[in-house]
Structure 1
Amino acid sequence: MHLRALPLDRAPVRLRQWVFLVDADERAAEAAFVALFAPGQDPGLGRALVADDGGGWLWERHQEFSTWTWFAFGPLGSELGFEAQPAETFFWLYGAPGEVFRGVEISVSAPEAQPPSEVALSRHIDLHRCVSCEVFDGAARIWTDFRLREGGTGRIHVANHSLAHDEVSRLVQTLLEIGNYRKLALIGFPPARELLAWLDGAEGRLASITSGLATGEDSQAVLDQLLALSAEVELRAAKNQFRRGATESYHRLTLDRLEALRERRVPGHSTMSEFIARRLLPAMRTREAADRRLDDLSVRIARSGDLLRTKLGLAQDRQNQETLRGMDASLQLQTKLQGLVEGLSIFAVGYYVLGLLGYLLKPWLHGWPGGAEIVLSGLVPLVLVVAAASLHRRKKRLIAGRD
């Protein structure tokens, strides 16, 4: 519950933090680097703190980034705590794995100290273009101009009116997270613009494919084009999935932290919420628009695929109907031929039966000249009727057995 709290238990204090973007394959090297400067601590826990009464440094690992924070207690002096520090103080800038993404300096004055003069503030913050408001219900006032200074860091000065207990730590951490999450949310803006440019061409290709489908273009060619476009859309969606979710999450966190500031307007200056809304919200709307258009394109491709499948299905049904009609004609012809064969079979069977009867009757009727031929001629109709009846009966049995 308290692991992520900054170890800032009093003011005045000066602080500097750097955000490093660290790839997954650099985490092991990062842990080894941290272990060199924090002996006895386990970087696997995601946090390392080296501090004494005068200050110290803190390393924290997050999902896709890490933070290195240096802090020192003591009077701020005429430079409001923004004076240069020896290079070896920030050893992580010269060896820590990852890419420096953001740097910020924050100074918090002593409780109930005199407000800083405009001359002192103007040396570090552009007072004509700065954001200034009271925070924590008036317990402090902040100044910042969101501009990079020496060393590539921005600067925030906090005039401590009545911060008590852990409010120094909570306020500084809130200010840090607002800046970090705001910048991290903006990582998704350049890919969104690139995606929008690609979507213009992709939507034109889909319109051309749909037009070809409507005008009767070759279905196989239309299918190949549709499959190619669908594969590209799915690839884009897969590549943007993590950044899409991360951007939304960082945006929500930024808004949550801004709400936690509990700002009060100072005449003549914008609040931090107003300033960030003007810069951040358009980028987030662009990101959302790109995501919606990509989703819509995927749905439209699916609908076009359904239409193409319907067209192919109808063509196949027509082909099947033609095949069935051909089969029916063939079956009718086959039936006629079979009837013809059956008729011829009756005569063939009758011929062979009469032949056998002739061999049987001639020995018995040899004394009657022409008697065998007379008897056989009389038996011809009977034999043909019996042969036809026998074949018809066997045909009925075969049909009944098949059913």
Structure 2
Amino acid sequence: MSGDSLGKLFKVTNWGESHGPAVGCVVEGCPPGIELSEQDIQPYLDKRRPGQSQLVTQRNEADQVRILSGTVDGKTTGTAISLMIENSNSRSKDYSEFAKLYRPSHADFTYQQKYGIRDVAGGGRSSARTTAANVAAGAIAQKVLSEIGVEVLSWVETVGAIKSQLPIEQITESLVESNPVRCPDQNIAKEMEQKILEIRKQGDTIGGVVRCVVRNMPVGLGEPLFDKLEADLAKAMLSINASKGFEIGSGFDGTTMVGSEHNDIFYRDEDGAIKTHGNNSGGVQGGISNGMDLDFKVAFKPVATLMQKQKTVDLNGDEIEYQGRGRHDPCVLPRAVPIVDAMAALVLCDHLLRYRAYRA
């Protein structure tokens, strides 16, 4: 058994290693007749691509995607779509000394204990490099969702203790993409950028929160009991490297309210649609979308690789000292934004197809 696949009707199987020849995925269940080319996918990968600013890893990968199957004459055929992204700028020698030790807060120890073997170069399957394939698959999912007007939009809400104050209603993709941090609050974005650069100079790293809103949501996505929409979203988000928390709607803040404050009161709008005053539910009730915007947050820890000396143990358990090498993000947040978008789209696309199967 392996955990390389996500989804039931819209199913994505991820493959490849950080320093292997390529990473990629196979997408099954995409409806036929959807216009799809590499040019449709590439803009999403460009957002995730390393080396795009001083705030992220300087590994220089073009991340050019190739569609190997599943399309003809620029349209999906309904058969499996295979996507490949070549690795062209790996430097495995940067990791050779790590074969003899376990890096703090990395997957070195756990992979070794589980499998009895591990890919030292770049962390192999545990590397965030594998998320490139998920972003490519997510681009296909977003094309399916766009047919019904669904918009997935993520942004950096916090870096460390620095938090955006911009109201969610004012946030647009153009604001998110207007700076390298991907924070729509321009003044706060400058503070975040300065903080990340300061942390990088210290050889340290910093975490934060990505927030996501999904607008124009249909009613009825999600399947109780174990496939509730928020449960599948949580699984997808917590599968992202460095993610450590998931909140939807009021999240943990809801624990400080009483029920009369927290309840989202139903009403009929001027178009006759049932809506709610407030959205503490985050767009999901009983595990099923209620038509309000999805609103959730994903917490990301500081990157584990520091350019500082740290203590650890070698394969024999003896204490040693080591210092990180290679090219790493001082903060994953800017590049995590398109990954959160993609994982949300994959879950929503799968549940949309499942809903259509029920109501066909």
TM-score > 0.5 by shorter chain: no
Q: Which has the higher contact order (CA 8 A, sep 6+)?
A: 2
Instruction: Choose between structure 1 and 2: higher helix proportion.
Output: 1
- Give TM-score scaled by structure 1 length: 0.23
- Give TM-score scaled by structure 2 length: 0.25
Instruction: Choose between structure 1 and 2: higher strand proportion.
Output: 2
Question: Rg larger in 1 or in 2?
Answer: 1
